[in-house]
Amino acid sequence: MARSKSSHRWLKEHFADPYVKRAQAEGWRSRAVFKLEELIERDDLLQPGMTVVDLGAAPGGWSQMVRDRLGDRGRVIGLDILPMQGIAGVDFIEGDFREESVLATLEQTLDGTPVDLVLSDMAPNMSGMTAVDQPRAMHLAELAEAFAAEHLRPGGAYLTKLFHGPGFDDYVRRLRAAYQRVSIRKPKASRARSPEVYALATGKR
């Protein structure tokens, strides 16, 4: 099947992207690692020995970077509906985060270990229709929020992808009530045209 003009434009832009080129050169699985890199360095999010849960982990760039930064100390658990090639030192669960059985598997994997940091780069498959995409994105963000509320230790941190639109302001207000500090970040590696931002909530109450 022939690609559309928009697909050709996207591919041309993608392979010309300096972050894509840098990720390939440095052996990272995706350009998204540079979003996380900026956030963890700016806010000093990672410390040796931490337990980190990465929601929406595939293709594995964030889990890869966290594992690299933690070295031999700490634990990383990734989860995604898509398959992911294994990463040494990362426990991966393949499944739909919206399903209770998958959440139960994640909880069993944790085995009562309190979580220091929850990362969520989850996003739905975008249709291009805001009225459809925004509720789906907010639903995933709400599931991640609930997981963090239940499993993060007091003082822990939560980083999640959000999209501006209905539900955004209410979501941020809830985070401000549940955490000591909430910041909205737009990493340099996040494409300017994208409505995505990241909410960083630290100091879980």
Strands 152-163 and 196-204: antiparallel
17 is in an annotated binding site: no
**Residue of 169 and 103 predicted with greater confidence:** 169
Closest CA to 39 of 147, 182, 186: 186
Cα dist from 19 to 31, 110, 159, 160, 165, whole Å: 5, 33, 21, 21, 27
The better pLDDT of the pair 142, 8 is held by 142
- For residue 74, the model assigns a pLDDT of 94
Give the DSSP letter of residue 123: -
**Does 95 have pLDDT greater than 60?**
yes
pLDDT of residue 139: 94
Q: What is the mean pLDDT of residues 140-153?
A: 95
Q: Average pLDDT of 137-155?
A: 95
Name which of 201, 110, 127 is nearest 161 in CA terms. Answer: 201
Res 105 pLDDT > 90: yes
**Residue 80 labeled ligand binder:** yes
Instruction: Give the pLDDT band (50/70/90) at residue 9.
Output: low
Q: Report d(CA 112, CA 171) in Å as an integer.
A: 27
- What is the per-residue pLDDT for 70? 95
Q: How confident is the model at residue 10, as a pLDDT?
A: 45
Q: pLDDT, tens digit, for every residue of 21-54? A: 887 888 787 888 989 999 989 999 999 999 999 9
pLDDT-based confidence at residue 194 (cuts at 50, 70, 90): confident
Residues 115/78, Cβ–Cβ less than 8 Å: no
Q: Is residue 62 a known part of a binding site?
A: yes
Q: Where are the domains of the chain?
A: 5-204
Q: Which of 83-87, 103-107, 129-133 shows the lowest per-residue confidence on average (mean pLDDT)?
A: 129-133
Q: Does 116 carry a binding-site annotation?
A: no
Residue in the block written with tokens 């995706």: 30
Share of the chain above pLDDT 90, in %: 67
Active site (catalytic) residues: 161
**CATH number 3.90.180.10 given to 5-204:** no
- Dihedral (CA of 92, 174, 70, 111) sign: negative
Tell which residue, 188, 191, 189, 199, has the closest CA to residue 164: 199
What is the model's pLDDT at position 159? 98
